[in-house]
A and B are shown apart, each in its own frame.
Chain A
Amino acid sequence: MESSLLPSGIAEAHAAFPGALEACGDLDSLLRLKGAYIGREASHAARLMQILKDAPKEQKRDLGAEINALKNQWEEGLKARQAVLEAQKKSRSAAGVGLDPDLPPPMPGRGSLNPLVRLMDRLVDVFRPLGFHVEEGPEVETEEHNFDGLNIPADHSARGSSDTFYFDRHPDLLLRTHTSPVQVRTLKRVAPHLEQMGGVRFLAPGRVYRKDEIDPTHSPMFHQVEGLLIGHGIGMHHLKGSLAYAMRALFGAGTSVRFRPSYFPFVEPGCEMDVRCPLCGGQGCRVCKGSGWVEILGAGLVHPNVLRFAGIDPAVWSGFAFGMGIERIAMMVSQTPDLRLFFENDQRFLGAMGGLD
Chain B
Amino acid sequence: MLIERAALCQELPALEDIPPQALCELLAALGFPVDALEERDGALILDVDITPNRGDAMSHRGLARDLAAKLMVELLPMPDPRVDEGVEPLIPVLLDNPACSIYATAVLELGPAQFTPEDIQAFLRSMGSTPKNLAPVDASNELLHRYGQPTHAFDADRLVGGIIVRWARAGECLVTLDGIERKLDAQDLVIADESGPVALAGVMGGEATKVTEATRRVLLESASFDAKTIRLTARRHNLHTDASHRFGRGADPAMAKPGRDLLLRRIENWAGAKVEGVWSAGRLHERTATVVLPKDLLQRIGGEALSLAEASERLQRLGCRVGTEPGLLHVTPPTWRHDLAIPEDLAEEVLRLRGYDRIPTALPPLEGPPLPLSPDYLHARRTATRLAHQGFHQTVTFGFTGATEDGPATSTPTEGRTLGNPLGLEFAVMRGSLLPSLKSAALANLRQGVGQAKLFEIAPVYASAPAGPQETRTLCAVWGGTVGGRDPYSPARPVSEADLRGIALDLGAPPDQVRIRDLGEGLFGFEIAMTCLPATPDRIIPAFRPFSRFPAVERDLSLMVEVDANYPSLKQAMADRLNPLAGSSLRDLRCVDVFRHKSLPAGKQAWLMRLGFQHSDRTLTGEEVDSWMAAALEAARSQGAELRG
Contacts and interface: CB of A to CB of B under 8 A. Distances in A.
A132 interface: yes
B303 A235 contact: yes
A213 interface: yes
B471 A169 contact: no
B348 to A, nearest CB: 3
Nearest to B299: A235
A15 to B, nearest CB: 22
Interface in A128-164: 128, 130-136, 138-140, 155, 157, 160-162
A116 interface: yes
Contact of B301 (A104, A235, A347): A235
A165 B300 contact: no
A139 B385 CA distance: 23
A103 interface: yes
Interface stretch (A1-9, A28-36, A177-185, A266-274): A266-274
B110 interface: no
B618 to A, nearest CB: 10
A272 to B, nearest CB: 8
Nearest to B393: A350
Contact of A106 (B388, B469, B489): B489
Q: Which of A138, A140, A232 has the most CB of B within 10 A?
A: A140
A65 to B, nearest CB: 8
Contact of A354 (B51, B232, B394, B469): B394
Nearest to A116: B396
27 contacts: A94-B489, A105-B487, A109-B391, A109-B454, A111-B388, A111-B390, A114-B394, A117-B384, A134-B374, A136-B374, A136-B376, A167-B420, A168-B418, A213-B423, A233-B300, A236-B303, A238-B303, A261-B352, A261-B356, A263-B31, A272-B33, A289-B36, A342-B396, A344-B441, A345-B393, A345-B441, A345-B444
Interface residues of A, number: 109
Contacts of A140: 430, 462, 468-469, 471
Interface in B261-310: 300-304
A112 B359 contact: no
Contact of A121 (B381, B419, B421, B468): B381
Nearest to A291: B24
Contacts of B31: 260-263
Contacts of B369: 198
Contact of A236 (B301, B415, B417, B490): B301
A197 B344 CA distance: 26
Nearest to B491: A95
A117 B394 contact: yes
Contacts of A170: 416, 468-469
Interface string B391-425: 11111111110000000000000011111111100
Contact of A68 (B361, B399, B487, B551): B551
A301 interface: yes
B302 A236 contact: yes
Given A169-B418, A260-B33, A263-B31, 17 more contacts: A105-B487, A106-B490, A109-B390, A111-B392, A114-B395, A161-B421, A167-B418, A175-B419, A220-B423, A223-B396, A237-B303, A240-B362, A242-B364, A268-B345, A289-B35, A348-B448, A356-B389
A134 B359 contact: no
A68 B301 CA distance: 76
Interface of A: 64-65, 68, 71-72, 93-95, 98, 103-114, 116-117, 121, 124, 128, 130-136, 138-140, 155, 157, 160-162, 165-171, 173, 175, 196-202, 207, 209, 211, 213-214, 220-221, 223, 229, 231-238, 240-242, 244-245, 258-263, 268-272, 289, 291, 295, 301, 303-304, 318, 342-348, 350-351, 354, 356-357
B371 interface: yes
B622 to A, nearest CB: 9
Nearest to B31: A261
A263 B52 contact: yes
B615 interface: no
Nearest to A108: B391
Contacts of B300: 233-235, 318
Contacts of A113: 384-385, 388, 394
Given A236-B302, A261-B31, A347 B367 contact: no
Nearest to B487: A104
Contacts of A272: 33
Contacts of A223: 396
B211 interface: no
Contacts of A162: 421
Contacts of B200: none
B398 A221 contact: yes
B434 to A, nearest CB: 12
Contacts of B393: 111-112, 114, 345, 347, 350-351, 354
B53 interface: yes
Contact of A220 (B427, B430, B490): B427
Interface of B: 24, 28-31, 33, 35-36, 51-54, 228, 231-232, 235, 300-304, 342, 344-345, 347-348, 351-352, 356-357, 359-374, 376-377, 381, 384-385, 387-400, 415-423, 427, 430, 441, 444-445, 448, 450, 453-455, 459-460, 462, 468-469, 471, 486-491, 549-551, 619
Contacts of A135: 374
Given A155-B231, A165-B422, A235 B394 contact: no
Contacts of B359: 236-237, 240, 259
Contact of A155 (B228, B360, B441, B471): B228
Contacts of B54: 263
Given A103-B488, A236-B351, A157 B303 contact: no
B419 A346 contact: no
A291 to B, nearest CB: 7
B473 to A, nearest CB: 9
B475 to A, nearest CB: 13
Contacts of B444: 344-346
A107 B362 contact: no
A215 to B, nearest CB: 12
A199 B368 CA distance: 7
B362 A124 contact: no
A259 B356 contact: yes
Q: Which of B304, B348, B398, B415 has the most CB of A within 10 A?
A: B348
B469 A260 contact: no
A213 B426 CA distance: 13
B420 A241 contact: no
A343 B420 contact: no
B389 A111 contact: yes
Contacts of A167: 416-420, 468-469
B365 to A, nearest CB: 8
A199 B367 contact: yes
Contact of B364 (A94, A128, A234): A234
A291 B395 CA distance: 34
A335 to B, nearest CB: 19
A260 B28 contact: yes
A261 B30 contact: yes
Contacts of A98: 489
A271 B446 CA distance: 46
A229 B370 CA distance: 12
Contacts of B453: 347
Given A111-B390, A221-B399, A72 B362 contact: no
B397 A345 contact: yes
A357 B389 CA distance: 9
Contact of B367 (A68, A95, A232, A236): A232
A268 B361 contact: no
7 closest residue pairs by CB, A with B: A198-B368, A237-B303, A109-B391, A261-B31, A198-B367, A269-B348, A94-B488
Contacts of A139: 399, 460, 471
A347 B450 contact: yes
Contacts of A105: 487, 489
A209 B421 CA distance: 13
A30 B52 CA distance: 86
